[in-house]
Structure 1
Amino acid sequence: MGVEWWKSARELRPLVHLLLPLCVHWIAEEMTVSVLVDVTTGALCDGESTCSEAIYINGLQQTIVGIFKMVVLPVLGQLADEYGRKPLLLLTVSTTIVPFALLAINESKGFVYAYYVLRTISYIISQGSIFCIAVAYTADVLDGSKRVAAFSWITGLFSASHVLGNVLARFLPENYIFEVSSALLIFCSAYMALFLVETVEPTPKQDLHSSCVNKAFNIVRERYKSMRGAVTIVISSQTLRSISLVSFFYELGMSGISNVLLYYLKAAFGFNKNQFSEIQTMVGIGSIVSQMVVLPLANPFVGEKVILCIALLGSIVYALLYGLAWAPWVPYLSASFGVVYVLVKPSTYAIISKASSSSDQGKAQGFIAGVQSIASLLSPLGMSPLTSWFLSSDAPFNCKGFSIICASLCMAISLCFAWMLKPEAKANNNLGDNGEDIEAPLLS
């Protein structure tokens, strides 16, 4: 068992210059999460523990991000296939620098509003797309038999970064958190620019002497053709169609919970930055083990589908315990199920990757990420007002977490689709093998 684990770790050596800056990026983002709740409520709620404005501004942000991500995510996946992974990764990881730098300068109401505007733009470009492009990069470098372990390590390192970010948030003075985060984000972009190796040969430019109008028309036409090709890839594969539904309903429930959870805990139990960090650190440590050790060892025996179903079942229990929490210790018990539900992402990536040809990895991952963005657009439309209503004195009955209980139904639907899933042993579409191929991996 130890030999197999060490072997899967060694297979990640070609990905060092990808994973190191991504870990730094995730640490820098995570260390701000628990502080942002206090900063937002402090600036917008006039001394109250929470208020509708703080909940709604997060819901509005998620809605706007969902609207634009429906288009942006698939397009970024296509551009990564056509023009290379490195420039798209550099674009996505660098967008977070300015929003956090603003809060490092000042945390007043005006700066908080400016942060939300710029962070919304950053989320549109980076949220979800970093994982999609990183997964496509991994598929370029590693063959199919090694990808599942690599995907589990990527998501495991994501959890490890969350732990380190929460530890920093727990012990750093609040006044220095955004300064340190901004510095780490700058380092991440600089390291990637210097050391990351491209894996895709960019599409040659053939219209250097065309007019601006013709160039714009050609860009739109190419994006339309590429989008139509991505839709064809997904529709032609039963596995990709099914995993799209699984991803949609899972994201519909989980993104809704994530959007309101910290505000719910602050209002219901008086949690602050320290409790948030403790919960997230506890979950992160368990998630590292489940993703980096358990998943690579269990996958050869049970397969991605079984792991996906178990993870979705864990997400349902996670949501129900949060929604029905009757004492301050219950959220800690609920959070422990995060150790299980974090396996949804790597198993989903593996199923998508196996059902896609080598030249369509970015398109398939990007399209399904776009489906998830539709869910993240819809979830705050119901979750934000429902949460605000049941946290207020006008609630029809005493159940502050009722909106989270409703979200668990979405995960239950996702589990039903996952149970009926029939993963393909290999890609069954040949779109990547015809004359329309526009790129080929440089590394193998």
Structure 2
Amino acid sequence: MVGAKELLKPLIHLLFPLCMHWIAEEMTVSVLVDVTTGALCPGDTTCSPAIYLNGLQQTIVGIFKMVMLPVLGQLSDEYGRKPLLLLTVSTTIFPFALLVISKSKEFVYAYYVLRTISYMISQGSIFCIAVAYVADVVDNSKRAAVFSWITGLFSASHVVGNLLARFLPESYIFEVSVALLLSCSIYMYLFLEETVKQGEKMEKSSSFLYGALEVVQARYKSMRYAATIVVTSPTLKSISIVSFFYELGMSGISGVLLYYLKAAFGFDKNQFSEILSVVGIGSIASQLVGLPLLNPCLKEKGILCAAILASIAYALLYGLAWAPWVPYLSAAFGVIFVLIKPATYAVISKGSNSTNQGKAQGFVAGVQSIASLLSPLAMSPLTSWFLSSDAPFNCKGFSIILASLCMVVSLYFALALKVEAPPDNELENEESIEAPLLS
């Protein structure tokens, strides 16, 4: 534990505000299902408009994230982690502030508009930039353990958020969430130290005033460079494929799961909070203790494969759930599959050099966003169909079972993954083709 304290000490001003941010977001998750269903389908447990609206949001966000994640990753490499983190964490304040004012149908629609814009900027990018920040200050050999501790704190924050959602009155949840989000941004602005030495690149900020053509050309060059880094690296290319198929299945499940549980078993805010807490409590131990202990033996690849296998079991149990207690059993597999994130970050970090951490993390996250764009196109109508009275056969979780097949494909590619560091001479040659994003 002494080693853990030494490694996490320089990250305290990063992790503390992020924990506040994660708590604030998580405490709203279980409540939003009831709020949106109550506003759009009063008195009903099944709400197709809410499922479709949620799928539409996920699709729009996926389209923009394909560009935003790599761009934000490279911007953090060039202009610093702190300004990009401040931008991404602050966007969540505004949509939740609307629900503080009112939970009427009109305000729920307005919430979805602002939340969609917020997700375009923040979803995935916060973690990518935070991981790049860690890579700036932590030695390569110790990053897998630190990534696991960070995702463990992420899970602990989710548990706290779910407990707040479970015991706080619904009328206070959004107020508390907005207060925490504001505190997070203020703390980060005051105390977070920059880790990127910008030097002469800060002088290029005037490039914002250049013509639109120059900006488009610069972005194209930077995206091409990030793609080159990934495509020319067998490790990064393989983990991109693994991440794509895994995200294709898991994002589809996540988008409809709570609405499925509400329609199939009549779950409400309290049951949602309990299920999410089951995942969170177990995953704290697996990420803070389990992964650091297992990594020397199994390495990143072994942990990744075991986590994907647990995800497949998780999806099948949800899809075939025959009683209200089965979702709780399924949630228990979250103890293992949450290790996918730190294992993936560690593989990407090992496959790229120190100057390209943000680009590599951002590009792979962009690949994941393509999957999150595609999955609701099938999952939303399929879930709504099998929850309705017009379903061709009685299997309310059929869409979730189909989504598990994508994770089977992900497991196939993960088994063939080779984790290798990039050759030094190759990295030096690649530096010559890099173009600053806004030059």
TM class, shorter-chain normalised? over 0.9
Aligned to 1:442: none
Distance across 2 between alignment mates of 1:78 and 1:352: 15
Aligned to 1:72: 68
The alignment status of 1:230 with 2:226, answered yes or no, reads yes
Q: Report the more deviating stretch, 52-61 or 198-207.
A: 198-207
CA contact (8 A) 2:89 2:185 kept: yes
CA contact (8 A) 2:65 2:120 kept: yes
Distance across 1 between alignment mates of 2:87 and 2:55: 25
CA contact (8 A) 1:17 1:192 kept: yes
CA contact (8 A) 2:233 2:422 kept: no
**Pairwise mapping of residues 382-397 of structure 1 onto structure 2 (< 5 A)?**
382-397=378-393
Deviation at 1:342, TM superposition (A): 0.4
Structure 1 counterpart of 2:408, one-letter code:
A
Distance across 1 between alignment mates of 2:82 and 2:168: 32
CA contact (8 A) 1:359 1:432 kept: no
**Pairwise mapping of residues 192-211 of structure 1 onto structure 2 (< 5 A)?**
192-202=188-198, 203-206=201-204, 208=206
Q: Deviations over 1:100-143 (max 9, x none)?
A: 00001100000000000000000000000000000000000111
CA gap 1:258/1:304 in 2 versus in 1, 3 angstroms: same
Deviation at 1:438, TM superposition (A): 8.0
Aligned to 2:181: 185
Distance across 2 between alignment mates of 1:149 and 1:170: 31
CA gap 1:198/1:211 in 2 versus in 1, 3 angstroms: closer
Distance across 2 between alignment mates of 1:362 and 1:334: 34
CA contact (8 A) 1:63 1:380 kept: yes
Select which of 331, 344, 347 maps to 1:351.
347
Aligned to 1:292: 288
CA gap 1:84/1:207 in 2 versus in 1, 3 angstroms: closer
Select which of 303, 308, 318 maps to 1:312.
308
CA gap 1:369/1:431 in 2 versus in 1, 3 angstroms: farther
CA gap 1:327/1:431 in 2 versus in 1, 3 angstroms: farther
The alignment status of 1:419 with 2:415, answered yes or no, reads yes
The alignment status of 1:150 with 2:165, answered yes or no, reads no
Deviation at 1:17, TM superposition (A): 0.3
Select which of 396, 400, 404 maps to 1:404.
400
Give 3-state SS (helix, strand or coil) of 1:395's partner: coil
Q: Deviations over 1:268-313 (max 9, x none)?
A: 0000000000111111010000011000111012100000000000
Aligned to 1:88: 84
Distance across 2 between alignment mates of 1:11 and 1:372: 29
Deviation at 1:222, TM superposition (A): 1.9
CA gap 1:247/1:108 in 2 versus in 1, 3 angstroms: same
Deviation at 1:219, TM superposition (A): 2.3
Aligned to 1:322: 318
Distance across 2 between alignment mates of 1:382 and 1:119: 22
Aligned to 1:380: 376
Aligned to 1:269: 265
Q: Report the more deviating stretch, 141-150 or 119-128.
A: 141-150
Gaps of 5+ in 2: none
CA gap 1:377/1:431 in 2 versus in 1, 3 angstroms: farther
- Two-structure CA RMSD over aligned residues (Å): 1.6
% identity of equivalent residues: 74
Deviation at 1:7, TM superposition (A): 1.5
Count of residues paired in the alignment:
433
Structure 2 counterpart of 1:260, one-letter code:
V
Select which of 247, 251, 255 maps to 1:255.
251
Give 3-state SS (helix, strand or coil) of 2:367's partner: helix
Distance across 2 between alignment mates of 1:378 and 1:433: 32
Select which of 303, 309, 331 maps to 1:335.
331
TM-score (structure 1 length as normaliser): 0.95
CA gap 1:431/1:407 in 2 versus in 1, 3 angstroms: farther
Aligned to 1:107: 103
CA gap 1:285/1:432 in 2 versus in 1, 3 angstroms: farther
Q: Deviations over 1:391-429 (max 9, x none)?
A: 000000000000000000000000000000011045664
Structure 2 counterpart of 1:147, one-letter code:
R
Distance across 2 between alignment mates of 1:207 and 1:367: 23
Aligned to 2:427: 430
CA contact (8 A) 2:221 2:435 kept: no
CA gap 1:230/1:404 in 2 versus in 1, 3 angstroms: same
Give 3-state SS (helix, strand or coil) of 1:31's partner: helix
Give 3-state SS (helix, strand or coil) of 1:205's partner: helix
**Pairwise mapping of residues 130-145 of structure 1 onto structure 2 (< 5 A)?**
130-145=126-141
Distance across 1 between alignment mates of 2:281 and 2:177: 21
CA contact (8 A) 2:166 2:269 kept: yes
CA contact (8 A) 1:311 1:341 kept: yes
CA gap 1:6/1:318 in 2 versus in 1, 3 angstroms: farther
TM-score (structure 2 length as normaliser): 0.96
Structure 2 counterpart of 1:61, one-letter code:
Q
CA gap 1:301/1:54 in 2 versus in 1, 3 angstroms: same
Aligned to 2:171: 175
Deviation at 1:93, TM superposition (A): 0.1
Q: Deviations over 1:162-192 (max 9, x none)?
A: 0000000001110000000000000000000
Q: Deviations over 1:355-385 (max 9, x none)?
A: 0010000000000000000000000000000
Gaps of 5+ in 1: 440-444
Distance across 1 between alignment mates of 2:205 and 2:305: 49
Deviation at 1:435, TM superposition (A): 4.9
Give 3-state SS (helix, strand or coil) of 2:321's partner: coil
Structure 2 counterpart of 1:298, one-letter code:
L
CA contact (8 A) 1:257 1:407 kept: yes
Structure 2 counterpart of 1:204, one-letter code:
M
Distance across 2 between alignment mates of 1:262 and 1:121: 22
Q: Report the more deviating stretch, 260-269 or 44-53.
A: 44-53
CA contact (8 A) 1:147 1:350 kept: yes
